[in-house]
A and B are shown apart, each in its own frame.
Chain A
Amino acid sequence: SQTIHQWPATLVQPVGSPLSLECTVEGTSNPNLYWYRQAAGRGLQLLFYSVGIGQISSEVPQNLSASRPQDRQFILSSKKLLLSDSGFYLCAWSDILNPESSYNEQFFGPGTRLTVL
């Protein structure tokens, strides 16, 4: 069965510090991978998605970046955090049964709660 891991679970960082969040998926190959952010009491905002190693699409202009160095590893980074970067960061995966399909449900990791002070 498939499992998705995220770490750390919680993080408190000062403004201007760097950030690195990691997500790994087990039990599947060549998944689509996604990074979302959820502000308190709000919906999901798609930040990045990846359909393969080194292939990253950005949905929202921001001071964040993403990388996919391995098939099942997805990393979210920032060089300098802003107060507005606080939120609940979620990694998700879906199967590439059909790359053109809209039928692929997404499965979420446990999330990282980031507080920028």
Chain B
Amino acid sequence: QKEVEQNSGPLSVPEGAIASLNCTYSDRGSQSFFWYRQYSGKSPELIMFIYSNGDKEDGRFTAQLNKASQYVSLLIRDSQPSDSATYLCAVGRNYQLIWGAGTKLIIKP
């Protein structure tokens, strides 16, 4: 079992709809969770981080954390073609981030 798992996709979502990206992790003691976006050929960029159970909103993005079920999700409202990218989930551990393999998201106009 991988420490951080994501569905590789691609996930295809119509423009204007809500895109839902999911991530599960195996270490129940994990405390910090990060979502990065990576456009093709570019480096990852941080979108959001979340530490507490519940929802955290930033513009069109909402991160959701459920420590009991060991999953973290990212919702993108009013999806735009520019949101098409690979989304990486990462879990903090000491000095490091443990990475999922990423979910490719395609927003169809």
Interface residue ranges, B against A (CB under 8 Å): 30-32, 34, 41-46, 49, 51, 88, 90, 92-97, 99-102
Contacts and interface: CB of A to CB of B under 8 A. Distances in A.
B95 A105 contact: no
Please tell me the size bucket of the interface on A.
Answer: 20 to 34
Interface in A82-101: 90, 94, 99-101
B96 A43 contact: no
Given A44-B88, A105-B34, A106-B90, 18 more contacts: A43-B88, A43-B100, A46-B99, A49-B95, A51-B95, A99-B95, A102-B30, A102-B31, A102-B32, A103-B31, A103-B32, A103-B92, A106-B46, A106-B97, A108-B43, A109-B43, A110-B42, A110-B43
Give the 4 A-B residue pairs with the shortest CB-CB distance, closest first: A102-B92, A43-B101, A108-B43, A44-B99
Contacts of B32: 102-103
B96 A46 contact: yes
B88 A90 contact: no
Contacts of B45: 108
